[in-house]
Amino acid sequence: MAVPSGVLSNQPPLALWSLLLCLLLSLSSHAQTPTPATTSETHVIWQLKLQGVIGPASSDLLIRTIDEAEQAPVHLLLVTLDTPGGLMSSMRAMIHRILASRVPVVIYVHPKGARAASAGTYLLYASHLAAMSPATNLGAATPIQMGMPARPGAPPGEKDNRTAPQPSALEKKVINDAVAHIRGLAELYGRNADWAEQAVREGVSLDAHAALAQSVVEVVANDVADLLSQIEGRSVQLHNQSVILHPAGLEIVVLELDWRYEFLSTITNPNVAYILMLIGFYGLLLEFYNPGVGLPGVVGAISLLTALYALQLLPINYAGLALILLGLGLMMAEAFSPSFGILGLGGLVAFVLGSILLMDTEVPDFQIALPLVAAFSLLSGLVCILLLTMALKSRHTPVASGVAMLIGETAMTIGPVHTQGKVQLHGEIWFARSSTPIAPHQPVIVSKIDGLILDVSPTLARAHPEER
């Protein structure tokens, strides 16, 4: 929505705070869950599609959907899952809500070719009933600790003579914690806990039929209709009580993704959050350079606030964020106090390093694209070079303002001027003095300024009348 620049110029603080308040309210308010277009008084089945990496957006969507399902006449919540994995924090929040749900949650790895890898395996084990389509798989659940450096491989020819590197204490703690977590989920619903531990420690995977044979999942179904027919009359454990499922004949309502999910999916994309942060910084910087414009400051403040909200949901390396802020600060210092490139170059190096380290995770979907980092780094470098060039040129530019501009100007004496007197210059009355007496109402040239006193001399025409 376009905002008239005149309004922002007249009242920039009020407009800025109003927009920021609206943004905070929109971020903190709970948006309505994607409810069906038509409601029914009888029990229905809600079907929710979770596809892609597990992150803040999918976690928020599932939690809100379960909250609404508990208030609506929903017999069960069917979640179709296809994910390569994701963030452990988001996964644990989803598991906590599933375990606390008063509505049975059935997770179905679907369609054919889908997978429930890494975090998806934990979700499948946390569901009240786990199902898979043919040609799907699960497993590879070994956690990758954020910021954990990769171990260098042994040089060729030495692999047979060296023992395998032993995991560090931190790696052992992370893996043991994950094993205990997934074994607890497996034992809660009577699933194969030994294979679950293998999936964590060794990263093994299973296809659908092997998972069914090894009691990892309860059902292998070709489609949703086949799944519902197979689970008719099955008993699931819900808060230590047996609940019989009767989905046959119930209406299936496919939930549409709402605006909140789309918004969170967009801003929690690391590339988008990164761009918003830079837009916010440069917008505020432009507003500081030209106070009163309003629009750059408002856009910058909103972008920066949105970026900070997104960054708190992402796996941030705070050292990387600090390096980015340091780099931007040094480049801004270069603009205000030119140091012949020292601050600008140091700021650019810190900015590049911080951008590379910003996302502290090995999940590809939550990493910043290096071409984007390179593009913004190149742009920032060009801006620094431009500002430095302009600063160097300004050193050789004649003074265009101040009292120094009065030297060489022509004034008019008001009375006689010698050791003291007064002249009129640009409509102002100045004290003046001259080494030679000058009559009233004569033009004089300003040769020097001493505080508030002008040193003047007669014009050449008056000094040498014979040269007329």
Q: DSSP of 266-301, one letter per residue?
A: HHTSHHHHHHHHHHHHHHHHHHHHSTT--HHHHHHH
458 to 367, 394, 431, 464: CA distances (angstroms): 74, 33, 16, 10
At residue 234, the pLDDT reads 94
At residue 448, the pLDDT reads 87
195-201 long-range Cβ contacts below 8 angstroms, 24+ apart:
196/121, 196/125, 196/141, 199/121, 199/138, 199/139, 199/140, 199/141, 199/142, 200/141, 200/142, 200/143, 200/175, 201/142, 201/175
At residue 265, the pLDDT reads 80
Question: pTM above the 0.85 mark?
Answer: no
Which alpha helices (DSSP H) does 292-419 contain, by range?
295-311, 318-336, 342-357, 370-395
**Which is it for the CA torsion 19, 20, 24, 25, positive or negative?**
negative
Any bridge partners for residue 220, and if so which? 132
Question: Hey, is 444 helix, strand or coil?
Answer: strand
pLDDT reading at 348 higher than 60:
yes
Tell me if the bond preceding 465 is cis, omega within 30° of 0.
no
At residue 135, the pLDDT reads 94
| Top-ranked range on mean pLDDT: pick from 51-65, 156-170, 176-190, 452-466 | 176-190
At residue 399, the pLDDT reads 57
pLDDT reading at 30 higher than 50:
no
